[in-house]
Amino acid sequence: MHAPDGFLTAGTAVATGAISVSTVTIALKQAKEQIAEKMVPLAGIAAAFVFAAQMFNFPVAGGTTGHLLGGALAAILLGPHVGALVVTVVVVVQALAFADGGFTALGYNVLNMAIIPAYGGFAAYAGFRRLLPQNGGGVVAATGLAAGVSVIFSAAAFSIQWLFGATAPVPFDTVFGAMVGVHTLIGIGEGVISALTVAAVLSSRPDLVFGARELDRARLEPASRVPLRAFVIGSVVVTMLVATVVSQFAVDDPDGLEAVAEDAGFISSGQEHGFSDSIFADYATDGINNESLSLAVAGIAGTIITLAVGYGLFRALRQREKVPE
Amino acid sequence: MSSALSTTDLHYSYPDGQAALSGVSFSISSGERLALLGPNGAGKTTLALHLNGIKRGDRGLVQVGDLKLDDRTVGEIRRRIGLVFQNPDDQLFMPTVSQDVAFGPANLGMTGGHLDGVVRGALAAVGAEELRRRVPHHLSGGERRRVALATVLAMEPSVLVLDEPTSGLDPAGRRELIGVLETLPMAQLVITHDLPFAHELCERTLIMDGGRIVADGKTAEILGDEALLKMHRLEMPYRV
Amino acid sequence: MGAGHAHAIYVHEHSFVHHLPPETKVLSVLLFVTATALTPREAIWAFAVYGAAEALLVVFARVPFRFVLSRLLAVAPFVVFALFLPFIGEGKDVSLAGIALSSEGVWSMWNILAKAILGATASILLAATTEVPDIVKGFGRLRVPPVITAIASFMIRYLEVISGELARMRTAMTARGYDPRWLSQARPIASSAGTLFVRSYERGERVYDAMLSRGYTGAMPAIDSRSASAREWAAALILPLLAGATAITAFVTL
């Protein structure tokens, strides 16, 4: 998702740039208060860790691999401000020194890949923590769910930026549906890996998990007793919710949404809402005339696939744990 | 001779209550070379971190020359005590060798040509001038070790404290390091498992075990006492 | 997507471009890419100018063309997306060889292709002629807050150390027969990531102790002395000035 130059309009680049700069300024100030003189070495080495962790691939299915974004993980381990700062440095250096992502795209790349996953992921984490048991298992499960959700937030944010600053005549709802749909699946990998990573840190240095700092040693259960079932059910529920809500949202009032945007002057009136013109509507299945119905069908199909993958995944995980003593 | 560095009845316990130093007292004179031996877990590295105030004892005194260690004097003490860490990668944190060597003196306020001169001098003292522009990650173990030493020499310390300086070095690297250390005039406290190295370099030896100094004497005598060495999990590869 | 990130793109040469101070190159590329991104897509001639300028730069910098092209593959996914635009864009008002295309889609395809490729080429040239620690030093000299530059600089310093540790952990696991193919088998990998985090954090604390030992009191000392000469700035700024003039002309003549 390291977008290149020219992908979104200049106005979007500037606006997201302003948001990113102001948020990073706040993050920097808060981070300084949190870790003070240790800031430079700790944040620097944490950034190196995130960068390295993004490089490593984890298996997804039968030989295909995935990569971590790491924003939510960084926020949960280091705190949202330090986490956001650290991943921002990673994204900026990747663009400037490794030719990964456009210079003029830094505004939205930083926003989507660092700020939103870190802060949004941490917010989701806090929310999930309230619903889950107050112990190590709850921390791990909340991490998994939050990390998955953070990826979706990121995709949704990009789609919303597309609404305002698209440089191509592809309607918002198509982009939204496609981006969020794909990233819901990607989020599962991010969630599982983030959760297991935090579980590993909890078992050796629980004091290093910012998001678990209020738990005393007695309540930190060993990682192997993570309630995977809660995680499975939770992630499936969330996935279903997201996919359904997303497709409903996109279908419900697409004209309304773009009419609002037109009135506000964000989209030039030259662009038509011609969903039916598009052969390639990612969320519409072929041959179904009714747009709303086709979108809902695509949403449900996506959910079922995700459910199936999820169930298969955790079935396998549970079987591994039944290894005889 | 005056004492360059001394501790008196130093006590320290970890946050979880485990005692690390249980009354450590020793002193090292100006220009003297002192080896500190002992089994793993004896508290040697912890002691080293007390000598420049990174850790502060619960009880007892650290004195460097005429300065007693406290919040006021800690800055100057950190200049006088040159601590070379066990792992050079922990100590070489700047992008290039010259920036690393410059870090210490720059913190002392040196700038410009003066700073440059000090950096070159320190690198020359360890035989690493040609490494000036190199990236620390691409140096060999021996080179890293000598550059780490240079970063500390640049501050003109009166006592060097070296934690396991020969560990991980190949024989040639080890020989180069010994060669450098022999040319340095300041007092040296060398924590090491490399007993022949201690034998070659240091005239006096301490043994530390369980947070206490349990032996203090001439190196030849201590290293010749097999029973004493064995009691503290040490062994010489040859008879002294 | 992640795998390509940390492979440094530096090409070891001794060109004029290589020897320019890093801050001049960083600013130059930043301004050049901004000018290209702001140029209206209809001014095709302007993009030809930019392309020619970059091609010249590739020659000056003694960077092989093939190298630049291979690195450009990183923008391939977006190129593919752009290539679809005439087909999936709305408002099918043109026809080519019997296929209905969207003219707006064709223009956006062109827009994205031109700007993405020009921007990526500029980034690649910067990375090919400037070593990573120098790039960080460069943007440090460009008034980026010193804390951020210091964090970036530590990140670069320890990146290879940490990814090296990670690689060794993976090797050790592979040597014990671990060959995961499914997400459900990923627990050991994630555990190694967790261990790596703990080790990295502990290293961070030791580095802090080492910094304290050498007099650190919370602010990085000013070590850098050499700043760029006017001549070097002038040389570096030729490119963005040319681009800026082109962009402005493009706007005005539209």
- Among C137, C210, C217, select the one facing B93 at the smallest CB separation: C210
Q: pLDDT band at C83, cuts 50/70/90?
A: confident
Q: pLDDT band at C102, cuts 50/70/90?
A: confident
For residue A293, pLDDT over 80 is answered with no
Quote ipTM for the complex.
0.92
What's the pLDDT at B83? 96
DSSP track, chain B? --EEEEEEEEEEE-TTS-EEEEEEEEEEETT-EEEEE--TTSSHHHHHHHHTTSS--SEEEEEETTEEPSTTTHHHHHHHEEEEPSSHHHH--SSSHHHHHHHHHHHTT--HHHHHHHHHHHHHHTT-GGGTT--GGGS-HHHHHHHHHHHHHTT--SEEEEESTTTT--HHHHHHHHHHHHH--SEEEEE-S-HHHHHHH-SEEEEEETTEEEEEEEHHHHHH-HHHHHHTT---SS--
The pair of three-digit structure tokens given for residue A154, joined into one six-digit string: 């990121």
* Sign of the CA dihedral running A262, A265, A268, A270: positive
Highest mean pLDDT among B82-96, C167-181, C183-197: B82-96
In whole angstroms, what separates CA B40 from the centre of its chain? 17
Determine, for residues C211 and A41 on separate chains, whether the beta-carbon distance falls below 8 Å. yes
Residues of B with CB under 8 A from a CB of C: 49, 52, 54, 75, 78-79, 81, 83, 85, 87, 89-91, 93-96, 99, 102-104, 106-108, 111-112, 115-116, 135-137, 151-152, 155
Please classify residue B40 by burial: count the beta carbons closer than 10 Å to its beta carbon, then call 0-12 exposed, 13-18 middle and 19+ buried: exposed
Determine, for residues A59 and C150 on separate chains, whether the beta-carbon distance falls below 8 Å. no
Mutate to test the interface with C, among B56, B107, B116 (most CBs of C within 10 A): B107
For residue A295, pLDDT over 80 is answered with no
Highest mean pLDDT among A67-81, A165-179, A296-310, C214-228: A67-81
Strands B159-163, B19-29: parallel, antiparallel or unpaired by DSSP? unpaired
* Of residues A244 and B101, more confidently modeled: B101
Residue B225: CB partners within 8 Å, gap ≥ 6? none
List of chain C residues whose C-beta atoms are within 8 Å of the C-beta of residue A200: 190-195
Residue A215: CB partners within 8 Å, gap ≥ 6? A134, A135, A136, A139, A206
Q: pLDDT band at A264, cuts 50/70/90?
A: very low
List of chain C residues whose C-beta atoms are within 8 Å of the C-beta of residue B112: 225
What's the pLDDT at B38? 95
What residues are paired with B33 via a beta bridge? B188
Chain A closest-CA separation from residue C34 CA (Å): 6
Strands B159-163, B187-191: parallel, antiparallel or unpaired by DSSP? parallel
What's the pLDDT at C164? 92
Closest-CA residue of chain B to C202 = B90
Closest-CA residue of chain B to C218 = B107
pLDDT more than 90, % of chain C: 48
Chain A closest-CA separation from residue C66 CA (Å): 16
Q: pLDDT band at C186, cuts 50/70/90?
A: confident
Torsion of CA B165, B171, B176, B182, to 10 degrees: 60
List of chain C residues whose C-beta atoms are within 8 Å of the C-beta of residue A273: 90
Give the side-chain half-sphere CA count within 13 A for B219.
18
What's the pLDDT at A232? 53
Closest-CA residue of chain A to C139 = A96
Q: What is the DSSP letter of C96?
A: E
Report the pLDDT averaged over residues A105-125.
Answer: 93
**pTM confidence score:** 0.85
- Among C84, C112, C196, select the one facing A280 at the smallest CB separation: C84
Residue A210: CB partners within 8 Å, gap ≥ 6? A75, A76, A77, A78, A79, A82
In this complex, the chains that touch B, judged by 3 or more CB pairs closer than 8 A, are C
For residue A172, pLDDT over 80 is answered with no
Chain C closest-CA separation from residue B71 CA (Å): 13
List of chain B residues whose C-beta atoms are within 8 Å of the C-beta of residue C133: 95-96, 135
The pair of three-digit structure tokens given for residue B184, joined into one six-digit string: 């340095």
Report the pLDDT averaged over residues A137-164.
Answer: 88
Task: Return the residue matching tokens 């680049």.
Answer: A13
What's the pLDDT at A230? 57
* Of residues B133 and A249, more confidently modeled: B133
Distance, in Å, from the CA atom of C153 to the CA atom of C144, rounded to the nearest integer, reads 12
Q: pLDDT band at A55, cuts 50/70/90?
A: confident
What's the pLDDT at C4? 43
Report the pLDDT averaged over residues B213-218.
Answer: 95
Determine, for residues A201 and C152 on separate chains, whether the beta-carbon distance falls below 8 Å. no
Closest-CA residue of chain C to B53 = C213
Determine, for residues C183 and A45 on separate chains, whether the beta-carbon distance falls below 8 Å. no
Q: Which has the closest alpha carbon to A68: C3, C51, C195?
A: C3
Determine, for residues A45 and C207 on separate chains, whether the beta-carbon distance falls below 8 Å. yes
Please classify residue B228 by burial: count the beta carbons closer than 10 Å to its beta carbon, then call 0-12 exposed, 13-18 middle and 19+ buried: middle
C217 touches chain B (CB under 8 A): yes
What's the pLDDT at C5? 52
Q: How far is CA B31 from CA A189, B7, B100, B155, in A?
A: 60, 17, 26, 17
Determine, for residues C203 and B89 on separate chains, whether the beta-carbon distance falls below 8 Å. yes
Residues A122, A128, A130: CA angle, nearest 5 degrees: 110
Determine, for residues C148 and A171 on separate chains, whether the beta-carbon distance falls below 8 Å. no
* Helix or strand holding residue C93 (H, E): strand C92-96
Closest-CA residue of chain B to C136 = B95
Report the pLDDT averaged over residues B79-107.
Answer: 94
Query: Which domains are delineated in chain A?
Result: 10-321 (1.10.1760.20)
- Among C87, C190, C204, select the one facing A41 at the smallest CB separation: C204
Determine, for residues C191 and A197 on separate chains, whether the beta-carbon distance falls below 8 Å. yes
Distance, in Å, from the CA atom of B12 to the CA atom of B211, rounded to the nearest integer, reads 9
What residues are paired with A61 via a beta bridge? A64
Residue A33: CB partners within 8 Å, gap ≥ 6? none
Q: pLDDT band at B219, cuts 50/70/90?
A: very high
The pair of three-digit structure tokens given for residue B54, joined into one six-digit string: 């990174």
Determine, for residues B95 and C207 on separate chains, whether the beta-carbon distance falls below 8 Å. no
Residues A36, A37, A42: CA angle, nearest 5 degrees: 90
Residue A40: CB partners within 8 Å, gap ≥ 6? C147, C150, C151, C154, C211, C220
Determine, for residues C123 and A96 on separate chains, whether the beta-carbon distance falls below 8 Å. yes
For residue A270, pLDDT over 50 is answered with no
Q: Per-domain residue ranges for chain B?
A: 3-231
Mutate to test the interface with A, among C123, C129, C142, C217 (most CBs of A within 10 A): C123
Q: Does domain B3-231 have CATH number 1.10.3720.10?
A: no
In this complex, the chains that touch C, judged by 3 or more CB pairs closer than 8 A, are A, B
List of chain C residues whose C-beta atoms are within 8 Å of the C-beta of residue B52: 213
Distance, in Å, from the CA atom of C150 to the CA atom of A43, rounded to the nearest integer, reads 10
pLDDT more than 90, % of chain B: 91
Q: pLDDT per residue over B18-63, tens digit each?
A: 999 999 999 999 999 999 999 998 999 999 999 999 999 999 999 9
What's the pLDDT at A323? 38
Determine, for residues C200 and A48 on separate chains, whether the beta-carbon distance falls below 8 Å. yes
Closest-CA residue of chain B to C156 = B95
For residue C108, pLDDT over 90 is answered with no
Report the pLDDT averaged over residues B167-195.
Answer: 94
List of chain A residues whose C-beta atoms are within 8 Å of the C-beta of residue C3: 55, 57, 67
Chain A closest-CA separation from residue C102 CA (Å): 9
For residue A19, pLDDT over 90 is answered with yes
Residues B213, B214, B220: CA angle, nearest 5 degrees: 105
Report the pLDDT averaged over residues A82-93.
Answer: 96
In whole angstroms, what separates CA A10 from the centre of its chain? 25
Determine, for residues C157 and B152 on separate chains, whether the beta-carbon distance falls below 8 Å. no
Q: pLDDT per residue over B134-143, tens digit each?
A: 999 899 989 9
